[in-house]
Chains A and B, each alone.
Chain A
Amino acid sequence: KAGVTQTPRYLIKTRGQQVTLSCSPISGHRSVSWYQQTPGQGLQFLFEYFSETQRNKGNFPGRFSGRQFSNSRSEMNVSTLELGDSALYLCASSLWQGDSPLHFGNGTRLTVT
Chain B
Amino acid sequence: DAKTTQPPSMDCAEGRAANLPCNHSTISGNEYVYWYRQIHSQGPQYIIHGLKNNETNEMASLIITEDRKSSTLILPHATLRDTAVYYCIVRVSGNAGNMLTFGGGTRLMVKP
Contact = CB atoms under 8 A, between A and B. Distances in A.
Most buried by A among B43, B46, B93: B43
Interface residues of A, number: 28
B98 A48 contact: yes
Q: What does DSSP make chain A's interface, helix, strand, loop or mixed?
A: strand
Interface residues of B, number: 23
Interface string B79-95: 00000000100000111
B49 interface: yes
B102 A104 contact: no
A23 to B, nearest CB: 11
A63 interface: no
A64 interface: no
Q: What does DSSP make chain B's interface, helix, strand, loop or mixed?
A: loop
Interface in A78-107: 88, 90, 92, 94, 96-99, 101-107
B101 A45 contact: yes
A106 B49 contact: no
A90 to B, nearest CB: 5
A98 B98 contact: no
A48 B95 CA distance: 12
Given A98-B93, A99-B51, A45 B46 contact: no
Contacts of B34: 101
Nearest to B96: A56
Interface of A: 4, 31, 33, 35, 42-45, 48, 55-56, 58, 88, 90, 92, 94, 96-99, 101-107, 109
